[in-house]
Every structure is written in structure tokens, then in C-alpha cells.
Amino acid sequence: MIAPMPVPFRIETLWTEPRNATVPFMHRCDVRMQIRNTCGRNIHISKVRLHFQCERRVTKIRPSIALQEFLHPRQLSSTIIVPLLADLGFKSFTNSYVIEFEFHDTIKKKCRIDPHRYFVFSPCGDNRHQFFISHKDPQDTLRAKVLADYLFKAGLKGYVAADDRRLGVDVWDTKIPNEIKASIGTIFLWTNSAKADPASLYRELELTYKYRRRPILVMAEGLPRPRKFPRSAEYMPITGTLTPDVLRELTFAVHAAYSRGDYSGLRIRPVATSRGGRVRAK
């Protein structure tokens, strides 16, 4: 049940850390507040949850904190701190949020308050280093674009050939070879569509080895390893299909390996979830 307004308290002070609310993705920050009891009875606030604007088809990320805040009439609370990570699932740049409270006065209730505040979430790097995203076009182009968006938030760059609209440049003679050469690695999305017609992915694999770039094979659940990929190639098996949630977790793993400067040890352990699967680096 969502309690109707007015609620028996108000947000008296609200601020963020950092104070300017400008945060790179994958960095930590928090929302801080003090609550004033404005009714004539005692209240107990048990949970505070933040609702951010999230990307489409991503499991909603709701940072929260459980607490035991008992307030007498007119009493001001202690400082309530809700920590959060600037998740890749959040929408980029200006991102407003709503605060949800769970509390008791006479019965358990919930309410949401819009403080008309926002964070600014920006890429956590200069987007200079690129990964070429090899995929079956057009069946997996949308997945490739979602992955490219996540890589951009992570401070990297994902090249998707369908987005390269330069005229008069041959795709296989110039565009794709040059972009693979300019990349630090090639991420191969191995799906049922790619397995049914793998010619273009195999050709991009040959170019990847020609230019001594690192191949990263991402395999949907239940698919056999493609025969042309050597056993030494990095692989990322997942549970389920390549959903936006899985691609988000994949980006976290790729960025962690990139930050270490060592891709050769990257492996992904599948972890089942109710939403189709996640990936974990180990």
C-alpha cells in the first residue's frame, strides 16, 4: 500500500556526496538527509530506498538502507545516509530520483517523495580505448549497440559497424580491418544467429589474429564453442541469453580486466538469476 499524502514527516535537509552530485559511472556516492516528524504521534522509519531513471529492459536498481529511526513529535532525525554505486544501468547524465520511505505510525506504510534533485552520471574515462564488437548483423545488432552504450559509460568505446555511416568506404576492405586494428580487443557475441551463419564472425576472428588483438568470446547458454576459436581464447559463458542485464555485467567484467591490464586470466563464472542470467569474473 502506498500511503496517501500528506505524510507525517518531511525532508528537512538533503544533500549528496559529492556535493555537486556529478559522479562518473562505477564510482560510489551517497544521498544524505534529515527527516522531521511533523505529526502528533511517534513514527518509526525502517527503510529508505532511491528510485533512479534506468535504461530500458534493465532490472531496476534501487539503492536502499534499512534503519531503526524512531522519532517523537517534532523531532529531527539523525543523518540518514543511502550509499550507492553509479550503476551502468542508470541513464546517463542528468538523472533525477525519487525517495521512498517505509515507516510505521499506527500501521506499516510506504510513501514516495520527489525532492526535485538529480545526479549527473558521466563516463568514467576518456573513451579512447576501443573494443570491436563482432556480431551477427542484423539479428544481434541491437545487442551490440546496448553493449557499446555500456562500454561508453565505462569510459571505453565499442565499435559497431552498423553505426559507422561513412560514405564511399568499403566495409571489408577498409572499415572493419581498420577498426579491428585500432581496437585493443574484439568481443564476439556468439548466439544462435551467429552459430547458424558464422562466416562474418570467422572473418573478423582472422583479422583479430592478423592484427594481434585479443579475442573475447561471449557464448550464450547451451551453445557449443565455435570450432574456429582456439582453446586459448578468452571465453565468457553465461546463463541465459544476452539480455541487457547480462551485457551490463559483461561490461563490468571487461572493464575490470582492462583496469588490471591483463585479459589472459579473465574467465566468467555463470550465475543463474530469475531474469535470465549474470556473468561474474573470477
CATH number at residue 14: 2.60.40.10
Residue 230: pLDDT band by 50, 70, 90 thresholds?
Answer: confident
Contact 183, 130 (CB under 8 A): yes
Q: How many domains does the chain have?
A: 2
Q: What percent of the chain has pLDDT over 90?
A: 72
Give me the pLDDT at residue 168, please.
67
Residue 172: pLDDT band by 50, 70, 90 thresholds?
Answer: confident
Please indicate, yes or no, whether residues 139 and 245 belong to a single structural domain of this protein. yes
- pTM value? 0.86
Task: Single out the residue in 93, 122, 151 at which a domain terminates.
Answer: 122
Please indicate, yes or no, whether residues 109 and 151 belong to a single structural domain of this protein. no
Residue 216: pLDDT band by 50, 70, 90 thresholds?
Answer: very high
Please indicate, yes or no, whether residues 98 and 144 belong to a single structural domain of this protein. no
Q: Which three cell numbers stand for residue 89?
A: 544501468
* Residue 181 CA to its chain's centroid (Å): 27
Q: Phi, psi (5° rounding) for residue 278?
A: -135, 170
How many other CB atoms are there within 10 angstroms of residue 201's CB atom? Answer: 24
Give me the pLDDT at residue 275, please.
37
Please indicate, yes or no, whether residues 222 and 277 belong to a single structural domain of this protein. yes
On the question of pLDDT at 62 being above 80, the answer is yes
Give me the pLDDT at residue 220, please.
87
Per-residue CA distances from 61 to 41, 85, 97, 106, 220 (Å): 33, 10, 12, 30, 24
Please indicate, yes or no, whether residues 153 and 117 belong to a single structural domain of this protein. no
Does any domain span residue 18? Answer: yes
On the question of pLDDT at 1 being above 50, the answer is no
Does any domain span residue 202? Answer: yes
Task: Single out the residue in 122, 140, 171 at which a domain terminates.
Answer: 122
Please indicate, yes or no, whether residues 94 and 43 belong to a single structural domain of this protein. yes
Residue at grid coordinates 568514467: 124
Residue 4: pLDDT band by 50, 70, 90 thresholds?
Answer: low
Q: Which three cell numbers stand for residue 151?
A: 562500454
Please indicate, yes or no, whether residues 136 and 271 belong to a single structural domain of this protein. yes
Give me the pLDDT at residue 269, please.
38
Range of the domain at 52: 9-122
Please indicate, yes or no, whether residues 95 and 139 belong to a single structural domain of this protein. no
163-171: long-range pairs with CB below 8 Å, 24+? none
The mean pLDDT of the chain is 88
Amino acid at 124: C
Does any domain span residue 1? Answer: no
Please indicate, yes or no, whether residues 36 and 112 belong to a single structural domain of this protein. yes
Q: Which three cell numbers stand for residue 154?
A: 565505462
Burial (Cβ within 10 Å: 0-12, 13-18, ≥19) of residue 85:
middle
For residue 231, what is the domain's CATH number?
3.40.50.10140
Please indicate, yes or no, whether residues 100 and 143 belong to a single structural domain of this protein. no
Please indicate, yes or no, whether residues 241 and 149 belong to a single structural domain of this protein. yes
Does any domain span residue 199? Answer: yes
Residue 18: pLDDT band by 50, 70, 90 thresholds?
Answer: very high
Contact 14, 46 (CB under 8 A): no
Task: Single out the residue in 122, 143, 177 at which a domain terminates.
Answer: 122
Please indicate, yes or no, whether residues 188 and 261 belong to a single structural domain of this protein. yes
Mean pLDDT, residues 264-270: 37
Give me the pLDDT at residue 31, please.
98
Rounded distance between C-alpha atoms, residue 266 and residue 280, angstroms: 10
